[in-house]
Structure 1
Amino acid sequence: MNVLTQRDLNRATLARQYLLEREGCTALDAMSHLAGLQAQAPQEPFTGLWSRVRAFTPADLDDLVTGRQVVRTHLMRRTVHLVAATDALAWRARHDAMLRQRVLSTYRSELAGIDLDELSTAGRAVMADDQPRAMGELVGALRDRWPTPPRRVLGELLVAALIPMAQLPPRGLWKRTAGVRNLPLSTWLHQPIPPLPADPDDPIGQRLVLRYLAAYGPATTADIRAWSGLAGLPTAVKVLRGDLITFRDERGRLLLDVPDAPRPHPDTPAPTRFLPAFDNAILGYQDRSRIIDDPHLGLSVAGQRAVLIDGRVAATWTTGDRRLTISPLRSLTRTEERELEAEGQKLATFMDQGIDTIHIAEST
């Protein structure tokens, strides 16, 4: 069985993530290929798409959001993702149990004794008038019946687990600041959420595995679980094994992949790329060593924006006071600094925030 080095995996990841070269596809096609973008920070997906799609403009994504072709909703890992509307509908039932379990395990004592079905029914009845509500408004309507749990805890259970919700624009539009207003996902998209089929072969799980490998592979089953948050995908993997190809990594772990996905030569040049906070190119794995060094693992979890140099996280970046500040995590060559400045200037032009200085700080 072929062994893939860390650099092999790095170049495969960059190619699958559209970070080896920008793709000439639409924003919707890119988002569908990537199986969504993590989006709890509402402005970050714009940079994520700009770094991946040629000729991308903020209006492209705004139009998809207002046109209900993509939607903000809780999905993978109980985090807010921006996903194609068709994917949100197709995947939600498969994520229901995980979403409930993650909220309940986080707030076990606060939610003890609550009948989830009763609470869900009451919450849906409140939302049945098709009026968007902030989480606090929904909780307030139910407070007399459930006075004990903290308001925030009860709200998270309702909007992140029990009632599939869409977070409505203007939240998530370019340079717009807006609070979260929720509406049931099926109401916003004018389509019902299909129920989870009672099929032991887990067809929805199979499609999730294939979509993940196409955008993130080659990868381990632990990587698939870390990205999705779903523990019940081994059945889907088992059914698919005959259609997948396998490798080993340098530690001997089994890697799964789809046969026709790109696996570039490890010496393929990788351009400098600016990533947004919480980018799944980093977070979409259990083992993130293919793209980020162990000492820096906490950066992405903490929401810092990363810069890829030669395909690996080598700096962070911020904006403010009319300048783009880049903080290297290692010493840079002069060639790397020039490429960083050139790509940084393109980013500054895209962001259109009056940035007139590109500042590279001392390496840490």
Structure 2
Amino acid sequence: MDSHQVSAARLIAQGLIDSPRSETVTALSVVRHLGCVQAQALGGALVSIALRTGTSIAAVRAAMDSGAIVRTWTQRGTIHLTAAEDLGWILKLTGQRTLKSVAKRREFFGIDDAMVDAAALLAEEAIRDRGPLTRQELLNAFEPLQAGKDYGHERYLITTLALRNIITQGPMVDGKDDMKYVLSADWIPNPVDLDTEAALHEWMRRYVLSHGPVTIDDAARWTGLPKTPVRTAIAAAVADGEIVEDTIEGREHYQAPELEDRLHESRSGANKLLLLPGFDEIILGYKDRSATLDPEHERIVVPGGNGMFKNTLIDETKAQATWKRSPRKTGPRLIIDPFDDGAVDTDRAEAVASTHPAFD
């Protein structure tokens, strides 16, 4: 495999391009396969999953309501979707590390262990009494603490409880791209329990299989974990034959053993046009995004480097433009802004939009 094939291989590994070996997938199997799905923009995350299942957003929302998928701050201090049963062992890897990284911020807002313990009791009482709660309903339950109403007070109180795996986000809020808070122990009755070594091995195995070809740098950046344990876990997966190592233009990469064959089988499909939401894993899942997104165009996709990603149009395995929905009720569905005044096949893009889950 050469660098020009890396983006196509990643599109296949992530389930955005079908191959003759593809099997029927569900929202849960997509989330489990990817390891975690960034969900800062929840509406976009639902679209990302629907694109990989070939179903509607309504079907994805139903999977969320079933309890199979939860949303919380799994890695890098950023909120993600993950399989509910895997939440405990993922937070075992990342929770304390994230809590330590924001300890000074919690201290600044006056959130100490005693307050967190009291908040946990209030959350348990309110949720068990009233069922899943919206963010505001949960904050209302915390009023006896008099913790303050600044965003920082609210954020760090909630995220601390989440990182301790006391609460998580479970069912959807009706009619909104938002989720309600539940008690992890009650919402997830049969969590998978893995020790630290087994947990990191499993997480890295999934990451490589679903995102490969990837480097150690990619994996460390995605997890927010140090390179040494990441490298050890990946080496163990290679030794077990679960993943393989490949040298691409002088750099070590890791991928699924069958990915080369799938790339050959899906050669024509790899050139399909895709309309992806801004935080899709094909862009967010790597430290080095250059295989899919030219570094010169990254400032367009992430204007000002503010962490907010625009929707991207992928064609011939490369990001070619940003896009958004047209506000007009008639005429073209899309407003497309090509990079560098490049040509985009708008007819093909409109055809894709006609069956796209974001336009349901």
Letter in 2 for 1:57: S
Q: Specify every segment of 5 or more residues in structure 2 that has no aligned partner in the other structure, as ranges.
A: none
Which of 9, 13, 21 is equivalent to 1:12? Answer: 9
Alpha-carbon separation, structure 2, partners of 1:211 and 1:129: 36
Kindly indicate which of the two structures has a greater share of residues assigned to helix: 2
Q: Report if the CA contact (8 A) 1:72-1:168 is conserved.
A: yes
- SS for the counterpart of 2:347 is helix
Q: Match of 1:47?
A: 47
Aligned to 2:168: 166
- What SS does the corresponding residue of 1:286 show, helix, strand or coil? coil
Alignment equivalent of 2:230, drawn from 218, 226, 233: 233
- Given that 1:72 and 1:167 are in contact with CA atoms closer than 8 Å, whether structure 2 keeps it comes out as yes
Distance in structure 2 (CA, Å) of the matches to 1:98 and 1:151: 20
CA deviation vs aligned residue, 1:190-212 (integer Å, no higher than 9, x gap): 34674x63x6xx11000001000
Contact map agreement 2:106 2:156 (CA 8 A) in 1: no
Residue 291 of structure 1: CA displacement? Answer: 0.9
Tell me how many residue pairs correspond in the alignment.
Answer: 334
Q: Deviations over 1:303-330 (max 9, x none)?
A: 3111111111111111223342122114
8 Å Cα contact 1:130-1:187 kept in structure 2 = no
Q: Give me the whole-angstrom Cα distance separating, in 1, the residues matched to 2:166 and 2:297.
A: 34
Alignment partner of 1:346 is 2:355: yes
Conserved? CA contact 1:224–1:285, under 8 Å: yes
In structure 2, how many angstroms separate the alpha carbons of the residues matched to 1:149 and 1:193?
A: 33
Q: 1:184 offset after TM fit, Å?
A: 2.5
The answer to whether the 8 A contact 1:165-1:184 is kept is: yes
1:326 corresponds in structure 2 to 336
Q: In structure 1, how many angstroms separate the alpha carbons of the residues matched to 2:73 and 2:107?
A: 23
The equivalent of 2:244 in structure 1 is: 245
Confirm or deny: 8 A CA contact 2:42 2:177 kept in the other structure: no
- C-alpha distance in 1 between matches for 2:248 and 2:141: 48
Give the deviation of 1:215 after TM superposition. 0.4
Please state how far the C-alpha of 1:241 moved relative to its aligned partner.
3.8
Deviation at 1:240, TM superposition (A): 3.0
Per the alignment, do residues 149 and 346 of structure 1 end up closer, same or farther by CA in structure 2, a change over 3 Å counting? closer
Q: Decide whether aligned partners of structure 1 residues 149 and 82 sit closer, same or farther in structure 2, where only a CA change above 3 A counts.
A: closer
Q: Distance in 2 between matches of 1:42 and 1:147?
A: 24
Q: Which residue identity is paired with 1:14?
A: L
CA distance in 1, matches of 2:179, 2:350: 36
Q: What residue is the counterpart of 2:56 in the other structure?
A: 57
Helix, strand or coil at the partner of 1:314: strand
Contiguous gaps of at least 5 residues in structure 1: 353-364
Tell me what 1:75 maps to. Answer: 74
Alignment check: 8 A CA contact 1:120 1:163 kept: no
Deviations 1:114-173 (A, max 9, x none): 654x444333222221514535335533336x99995245335424534443224333x6
Does residue 205 of structure 1 match 2:200?
Answer: yes
SS of the residue corresponding to residue 289 of structure 2 reads coil
1:12, distance to aligned residue in structure 2 (A)? 1.0
- CA change 1:12–1:148 in 2 (3 A) is closer
Residue in structure 1 matched with residue 140 of structure 2 by the alignment: 137
Which letter does structure 2 place at the counterpart of 1:326? I
Paired letter, 2:274: R
> Deviation at 1:28?
2.2
Distance verdict in 2 for CA 1:245–1:178, change over 3 Å: closer
Could you say which residue in structure 2 is the equivalent of 1:293? Answer: 294
Q: CA deviation at 1:180?
A: 5.5
> In the alignment, residue 143 of structure 1 is paired with which amino acid?
Q
Map 1:62-141 → 2, pairs under 5 A: 62-104=61-103, 107=105, 110=108, 115-116=112-113, 118-129=114-125, 131=127, 132-133=132-133, 134=135, 136-137=139-140, 139-141=142-144
- Within the candidate set 180, 205, 221, 2:216 is matched to 221
The one-letter code matched in structure 2 to 1:66 is D
SS of the counterpart of 1:43? helix
Q: 1:257 aligns with which of 248, 255, 258?
A: 255
Q: Secondary structure at the match of 2:71?
A: strand
Match of residue 31 from structure 2: 31
Cα 1:125–1:50 change in 2 (3 A) is closer
- Give distance in 1, aligned partners of 2:101 and 2:64: 27
Superimposed CA distance per residue, residues 328-362 of structure 1 (whole angstroms, 9 cap, x where no aligned partner): 1144557x333222112222x7623xxxxxxxxxx
Q: Percent identity?
A: 24
User: After the TM superposition, which of the residue ranges 134-143 and 219-228 deviates more from structure 2?
Assistant: 134-143
Supply the distance in 1 between the matched residues of 2:338 and 2:151 (Cα, whole angstroms).
45
